Amino acid sequence: MKTKVLQLLRNHRDDYLSGEKISALLSCSRTMVWKYIDALRKEGYEIEAISNKGYKFIGEPDRLSEHEVLSRLDPDTFVQKVVYEDLAESTQQLAHALVHAGAETGTVVIANQQTSGRGRLGRNWYSPANTGIWMSLILKPDMEIRKAPQLTLVAAVAAARAVRQVCGIDADIKWPNDLLLHNKKIAGILTEMQAEMDQMKSVVIGIGMNVNEISFPSGVHEVATSLKKETGKCFKRADIVVSILNEFQWLYDAYLTKGFPFIKPLWEARAVTIGKEITAKTHKDTIVGTAEGIDDEGVLLIKDKAGHHHRIYSADIEAAND
């Protein structure tokens, strides 16, 4: 109910809503309306109250919570539930546990801080409190296992579009899962799945984004940056979370109906890897060559110096001179 009160106030932010009107719209008592508004104020929301006029939404804190996200998503959102934890070992780990417990598609897990955030290839992801976006999305698509990597590219486009929409800057995408600003990482995406035979049972897409960090530990600051460090501005994390989820919804719907060829040009328009000399380290070998692009399956295409063509499904990518 607190989420619905917040949503009403936000949707009428240019007007005052009386306690009587809110109670009528939500079928609850005026006393309960006051209690919900008092609770929202204690969480940092600015809500003005004037006798004989009612309540007016003024502003929100940089706060991530279930009702802060749900109250702002598109009306036809695919998000069914938001699970928020102030401190979590890993949103990926929590999301997988929720899958085993029967969580439905469209469940989103968000943490204010992670103690053991995970990146690709078993790497740790620096995830301090109150500064970044650490979230995982549960999906249960009816598709073949081989298509799982495509969802990473869909999520990368959604995250890049959200950064553009909220922050007004264009992030580059490095295949398959990194968002870069000035050649430093601001975000990464980790896609993990559970499957039976050759069909996916569930997919958990993790998104980590550095938003308001001003410093990073040794070993991280050389390769990572944040939206604040690159722009000099602070951003409200919930604005970006909501934008990512809204962008992902329409891209995912289009992907399911039109296939990956719809996503491909959107990804390529932001890809920093294409046309560059790169080193691709797979679990088998290391390939040095030119990244020619991706095919209609999302597979990276590399032409080595001997003229041989390689299709890369998974690899660690770096510029050839790094």
Written as six digits, the tokens of 19 are: 């306690």
Contact between 109 and 91 under an 8 Å Cβ cutoff? The reply is yes
Gap between the Cα atoms of 153 and 266, Å rounded: 10
Long-range contacts, stretch 122-126, CB < 8 angstroms, 24+ apart:
125/188, 125/208, 126/216, 126/217, 126/220, 126/224
Give the largest CA-CA distance in the chain. Answer: 80
72 is known to lie in a ligand binding site = no
146 is known to lie in a ligand binding site = no
Output the DSSP codes for 129-178. Answer: TTTSEEEEEEE----BGGGHHHHHHHHHHHHHHHHHHHH--PPEEETTTE
**Which phi and psi angles does 315 have, rounded to 5°?**
-170, 165
35 is known to lie in a ligand binding site = no
Exposure class string for 129-150: b at 16+ Cβ within 10 A, else e = eebbbbbbbbbebeeeeebbbb
Q: How deeply is 22 buried, as exposed, middle or buried, from its count of CB atoms within 10 A (0-12, 13-18, 19+)?
A: buried
Written as six digits, the tokens of 135 are: 């979230």
Residue 243 β-bridge partners: none
Report the chain's terminal Cα–Cα distance, integer Å. 53
Contact between 241 and 207 under an 8 Å Cβ cutoff? The reply is no
147 is known to lie in a ligand binding site = no
120 is known to lie in a ligand binding site = yes
Binding site residue list for biotin: 114, 118-120, 185
Binding site residue list: 114, 118-120, 185
